[in-house]
Structure 1
Amino acid sequence: MSAYTVREWDKLAYGEAEGQIPAHHADRLAGLAARSAFAGRGGSGVLEHGRHALRARGVVGILAAGDASLEILPKIDVAPGETPAHQNAAIRKRLVHMLAVALDLKIDLGVITDLAWQRETLLEILIRIFCDKLIEALRKGMPRRYVGREEDLPTLRGQLDITRQFTRHAVNPSRLACRFDLLSEDTPLNRIMKAAVVRLLRLSRRSANQQRLRELAFVYADIADVPVPGLQWDKVIIDRTNQSWQDLFAMARLFLQDRYQTTTGGTGQGTAMLFEMNALFEEYVGRLIARALAGTGLTVSLQGGRLFCLSAQDSERGLFQTKPDILIRRGGTVTHVIDTKWKRISSRIDDPKQGVSQADVYQMMAYAQLYRAPRLTLLYPHHPGLGTDEVIHARHRITGHATILETASIDVANSKNMLDRIRQLLIGDDAMVDAIV
């Protein structure tokens, strides 16, 4: 399979040379992208299918159609002196880290070699992580649960189903309608794991991953085949007896459901596993902030406001519901509202407004009115053009209010001391601590 890589908002020109994509491959991949749930009304929300090049937009992940695949990586600034292969490897590692935080997964990225990060696509890396974790879990035994069974037997087992006995076997008392519990491996959780293995076996193009998946498919041979729409996600219970399967359950959800990505199948259509960076950045930052502020007396809510801007005069029904990305409370009082924006802002030297949109400011002003928080923050990804350190770049007082609106950035390319850096950004400023206490 021919594999191509492009970064978010960059172009991949048509052609046969290195760093280009043949037009027939581009047409097929663009057609698949246009069918994605992220494509939008115009069909170009994932890829712009131009006359001379494909241009990636604010969605990352993998598109595979026919004998070609396209990997879209986020625009994360990494070491500028490195080769493109080394840079892409670093970006893949950061993206997998963001997914792990957003999905609350425990993933040891150090077990994957630098060479693998360079040579393997995001999809193959995720498949490899899933296989390794599943193999390790299965070594301790496949989880089992008591499953209710109804069978007609010559001797009584469990309880007699009286209704079924006297309707089905009234003239044949040699058979007993039994109802009993059986300790079985054919559980909703194992059916989900099998469905994930079967799906990934169709997607993977790397021989080592295919070998692992074939071995896993053999292990799950006696588990019922259930189509993805028929899987019983709500019947899976993760408790102390199977806690080690929590990460695998979350990863299976990632491969089989549409939380961040959309997966399109069918003859000739191909497969897409995509992540909208706005949603991923929001979830990533929100979970990091919750971890960073643990034990400080502050509580963090993600998408937890939902107050209405307007109330209808003739009823109690609200209009124009708000959904702040992150609310920070002390006690029951909102002290800080944070909205994440996955886009690059400019330095104040280049632009006093830093490229912050008027719509974003209006949105934050609405939050100031509804939530009465003394501090509002628009949080962006950091990049070298903003300087070397993550800082609060600008603070403004909203006219007629004591509320402060600030712009700040966080460097997703740097994972060192991340929680300490976030804590410093949010409560390290003594003046702002006084404002929010």
Structure 2
Amino acid sequence: MPDPTEVRLGEYGSALLDIQQLTARDIERLHALQARGCLRLDRVPAGWRIKADATVGILVLDHVRLVVEPKFAIPGEQLMSWLSYALRAPTPLPATARRWATGPQGYADLVAAALLEQCEQLIREGLRRDYVSRQSLEPVLRGRLDLTAQVSRRYGQLDQLHVRFFARETDTWDNRILGTALREARGLAIHPDLVRDLHALADAFPQAPTPNAALRALDRVRYTRLNARYRAAHTWAHLLLRGGGVTDLLTDEGTRADGLLLAMPALWEAVVRRLATEAVAPHGGRAVPSSGATGITVQGDLGAVSAFRPDVLLSLQGHHAAEHTLLPVDAKYKRYDRYGVGAADIHQLLTYSAGYTSKAPPRAVLIHPHLGGHSHRLLQVRGPGGMLGSIHVVGVDTAAPPPQAARWIGSALPWGDW
């Protein structure tokens, strides 16, 4: 079978495909992705037009390998740093990044390389072993005799014994998850050296019966001092096995095993949650839940009760230790470095500010990605009765390291005065 034709387009870009390049199965999958807002598929006289949304990554179809590259806000070479920051996973070593980022393979190869790097480290340290229940036929007694099997299968003969015992092996779910992810990564990687290394390392790990079984094990895993060192490798494995889905970050179904898609707005929301929390920590601030007693709810309408929830709700310490002020922060993956803030977003931020800030005028923060440096501007909304609220519009330089961006947010805004 010939290799799929590679089609590359940028974020929010489009590409034209011939009618025969998409099979019925491809069209069904693309329509499913369109329903979730990942892309758009249109029938045109010349064939099919695929238009990417704010989703980047790779999708392997029957005859086409679709690669959507990040173009809008986060440069390709920085994407792994921001993804690692959002997932709280270690950033791949610079040597590893240079090893794979120099070619046109891009995001999928870098994620596979990040998993490979973590698995290689586990191999060097020694894979975790645990006691696993085994059944076998032995010439001598080992463990406990399986009387039922001995009587029904050996008919009283004692030259071979059916026994049950525990053996200390690497065939544990911690290792099966990684073995399954390494095998899935081989189908996504393009760089021949990377594919070879994934093949070689996958043989050192046991494999789960199915990828879904590995995902179920990931959902059940609990980390202790015995398996804490597996956390980073499991994070990258989760990303690959879900086709891009880690917690609430990415596409969560439909493209596993033959796709790796990253929803950039969800990634940006996860980044902003961590940036804002780390920015106010030196000032005595912290993130608090935006539901329950601190939620904004709408009641009395048709249907169920609805709610307004900012991406981050910060509790800021005032001039006195016992004094705290709530500050809503919202993440917008939009070109607010070039265009004015939209009316819908202003309405949303005014609702947050009116509901959470007690000091006049009500305040809220909007954080958006920015290329070529940080930015900060203040929007003031006035009505006939005076000031309705103010919105701090903060642009974060996505070319900067994430910890540096968090420090800049902490110093850019007058947190202590709020």
TM over 0.5: yes
Structure 1 residue 261 corresponds to structure 2 residue 251: yes
Match of 1:207 in 2: 192
Match of 2:409 in 1: 422
Distance 1:292 1:323 in 2: 20
Summarize deviations over 1:238-269 as a string: whole Å, max 9, x none: 23333332110101111112331356469xxx
For residue 379 of structure 1, report the CA deviation from its aligned partner: 1.8
Distance 1:302 1:27 in 2: 46
Structure 1 residue 345 corresponds to structure 2 residue 351: no
Summarize deviations over 1:197-243 as a string: whole Å, max 9, x none: 221223333321221122122212xx253212223224433233333
Runs of at least 5 residues in structure 2 that lack an aligned partner in the other structure: 318-322
Match of 1:98 in 2: 82
Q: Is the 8 A contact 1:59 1:274 kept in 2?
A: yes
Identity across matched positions, percent: 20
Distance 1:256 1:103 in 2: 15
Structure 1 residue 56 corresponds to structure 2 residue 39: no
Letter in 2 for 1:7: G
Q: Is the 8 A contact 2:38 2:263 kept in 1?
A: no
Q: Is the 8 A contact 1:117 1:125 kept in 2?
A: no
Match of 1:240 in 2: 225
Q: Is the 8 A contact 2:378 2:390 kept in 1?
A: no
Match of 2:10 in 1: 7
Letter in 2 for 1:192: I
Letter in 1 for 2:333: W
Distance 1:383 1:29 in 2: 39
For residue 138 of structure 1, report the CA deviation from its aligned partner: 0.8
Relative to the length of structure 2, the TM-score reads 0.77
Match of 1:85 in 2: none
Compared CA separation, residues 96 and 297, structure 1 to 2 (3 A):
same
For residue 176 of structure 1, report the CA deviation from its aligned partner: 10
Letter in 2 for 1:338: V
Structure 1 residue 119 corresponds to structure 2 residue 109: no
Match of 2:298 in 1: 310
Partner of 1:119: helix, strand, or coil? coil
Match of 2:342 in 1: 356
Residue 198 of structure 1 is aligned with which of 148, 173, 183? 183
Taking the TM superposition and a 5 Å limit, the aligned residue runs for 1:14-413 are 14=16, 24-25=20-21, 31=27, 34-36=30-32, 38-40=33-35, 45-49=38-42, 51=44, 53-76=49-72, 91-108=75-92, 110-111=94-95, 112-113=97-98, 116-147=101-132, 155=141, 157=143, 181-220=166-205, 223-231=206-214, 232-257=217-242, 258-259=245-246, 260-262=250-252, 264=254, 271-301=258-288, 307-311=295-299, 319-330=305-316, 333-345=324-336, 354-358=340-344, 360-372=345-357, 374-383=362-371, 389-396=374-381, 403-413=389-399
Distance 1:71 1:229 in 2: 25
Compared CA separation, residues 413 and 183, structure 1 to 2 (3 A):
same
Q: Is the 8 A contact 1:26 1:54 kept in 2?
A: no
For residue 109 of structure 1, report the CA deviation from its aligned partner: 5.0
Distance 1:414 1:196 in 2: 31
Letter in 1 for 2:13: D
Summarize deviations over 1:84-126 as a string: whole Å, max 9, x none: xxxxxx8222222221111111123521228834422311221
For residue 311 of structure 1, report the CA deviation from its aligned partner: 4.0
Distance 1:285 1:339 in 2: 8
Partner of 2:282: helix, strand, or coil? coil
Superposed CA RMSD in Å reads: 4.0
Compared CA separation, residues 276 and 28, structure 1 to 2 (3 A):
farther
Aligned residues: 389
Which sits farther off after the overlay, 211-220 or 115-124?
115-124
Summarize deviations over 1:46-82 as a string: whole Å, max 9, x none: 13436364322122211111342122123335xxxxx
Partner of 2:260: helix, strand, or coil? strand
Summarize deviations over 1:20-47 as a string: whole Å, max 9, x none: x6564477897265244x4227xx6413
Runs of at least 5 residues in structure 1 that lack an aligned partner in the other structure: 15-20, 78-89
Distance 2:39 2:172 in 1: 37
Q: Is the 8 A contact 1:338 1:378 kept in 2?
A: yes
Which sits farther off after the overlay, 390-399 or 276-285?
390-399
Compared CA separation, residues 46 and 252, structure 1 to 2 (3 A):
same
Q: Is the 8 A contact 2:280 2:316 kept in 1?
A: no
Partner of 1:239: helix, strand, or coil? coil
For residue 193 of structure 1, report the CA deviation from its aligned partner: 0.8
Q: Is the 8 A contact 2:380 2:387 kept in 1?
A: no
Partner of 1:219: helix, strand, or coil? coil
